[in-house]
Amino acid sequence: MTTRRKFLVSSALATTAAMLGMKSIFSRSETPEKKVIKINTVRKPVVISTWDHGIAANEAAWKILSTNGRALDAVEQGVRVTESDPNITSVGYGGLPDRDGRVTLDACIMDENLNAGSVACIEHIKNPISVARLVMEKTPHVMLVGDGALQFALQNGFKRENLLTKKSKKAWEEWLKTSHYKPVDRNNHDTIGMIALDNNGNLSGACTTSGIAWKIHGRVGDSPIPGDGLYVDNEVGGAASTGVGEAVMRTCGSYFVVELMRAGKSPEEACKLAVERILKWNMKYNDLQVAYIALNKNGEAGGYAVKKGFQYALYADGKNQLIDAKYSES
């Protein structure tokens, strides 16, 4: 019995699948009478994150994902590993300071219900991602900044700490000798962005950074802005960025990547088109590097960068691997 309703349901699902680029999800039998919708394997869980420090972050996320935990918990715990590592000078504790010697941090988190929480230009808190989560879950707001964010964190039991390690202080003192303000040195920026798909098929993402070294005090980048440094739409996929935040903000980068996936692009194609949008405008940043990572609802992942050198960590099918991203310019 082929009812009109059945037909409508199957064609609607097929259209959705096409829009999401999920070529392999649905298949039909030959005869209209036996129109069976077969849900193929969606690869899950999966977690993807930026740069080589993503390997250790993925491990922490995987512990949660592989025991049927929630993607939101996985991304929070994953990026906390990077934030807490004093040897990583671009995220959290040990991050390089601004030109006044102050370590100011940006972070954003998004769950499977389009909830978002973020903190920008927060000082003295080692794990800003957890403050961002609290903003999302315990306040009617999305973003808290500066002193207000710090006050909120302290009121909620976070510890005030000195985040400027000896190593970062030394680097800053060295920089002070010339005070040459070159905010786009690629070695200076390696935010961690992470997107996870859990066993329930839900997506979440996190992004956290100390931003660009020696920045003007008060400068906020793309990372804490939903739609720029991070975006997750549980119907489609998630994306995160790293690199010169100003270029990402001017193109609403991560939102653009997600919308491209909604329109049927694969994660890698979507990241490439978002990179090309930046390049098309010929933005005048020295040594411009921007990279995106993306993961769709189907468990397909990808990344793409302006320049050579960007790597992302992908944990899927039980394997945690570092992958060299394709790029537009050598």
| Residue ranges binding ligand SD4 (CB under 6 A) | 90, 189-191, 209, 211-212, 221-223, 242-245
Given the complex with ligand SD4, which of 17 and 194 has the nearer CB atom?
A: 194
Whole-number minimum distance, CB 95 to ligand SD4, in Å?
10
Cα 53 to Cα 85: distance, rounded to the nearest angstrom: 10
- Residue 70 near residue 198 (C-beta atoms within 8 A): yes
Q: Are strands 326-329 and 301-307 parallel, antiparallel or unpaired?
A: parallel
Given the complex with ligand SD4, which of 72 and 288 has the nearer CB atom?
A: 288
Whole-number minimum distance, CB 73 to ligand SD4, in Å?
24
Cα 50 to Cα 206: distance, rounded to the nearest angstrom: 11
Token pair 């997506």 is found at: 203
Given the complex with ligand SD4, which of 235 and 287 has the nearer CB atom?
A: 287
- Residue 58 near residue 320 (C-beta atoms within 8 A): yes
Residue in 191, 208, 209, 251 annotated catalytic: 191
Sign of CA dihedral 97, 102, 108, 109: positive
Given the complex with ligand SD4, which of 14 and 184 has the nearer CB atom?
A: 184
Whole-number minimum distance, CB 104 to ligand SD4, in Å?
10
Going from the C-alpha of 287 to that of each of 8, 307, 310, 330, the distances in angstroms are 51, 9, 14, 11
Containing H/E element for 150? helix 146-155
Given the complex with ligand SD4, which of 120 and 295 has the nearer CB atom?
A: 120
| Chain CA centroid to CA 161, Å | 25
| Chain CA centroid to CA 298, Å | 17
End-to-end CA distance of the chain: 58
Whole-number minimum distance, CB 63 to ligand SD4, in Å?
25
Whole-number minimum distance, CB 283 to ligand SD4, in Å?
13
Given the complex with ligand SD4, which of 229 and 237 has the nearer CB atom?
A: 229
Token pair 């699948």 is found at: 17
DSSP annotation of 87? T
Structure tokens, 214: 């020696």
Report the candidate in 93, 59, 54 with the shortest Cα–Cα distance to residue 74: 59
Q: Is residue 191 annotated as part of the catalytic site, yes or no?
A: yes
Whole-number minimum distance, CB 106 to ligand SD4, in Å?
6
- Residue 50 near residue 309 (C-beta atoms within 8 A): no
Whole-number minimum distance, CB 322 to ligand SD4, in Å?
16
Given the complex with ligand SD4, which of 234 and 289 has the nearer CB atom?
A: 289
3-state helix, strand, coil in the chain (%, to 5): 35, 25, 45
Just list the catalytic residues. 191
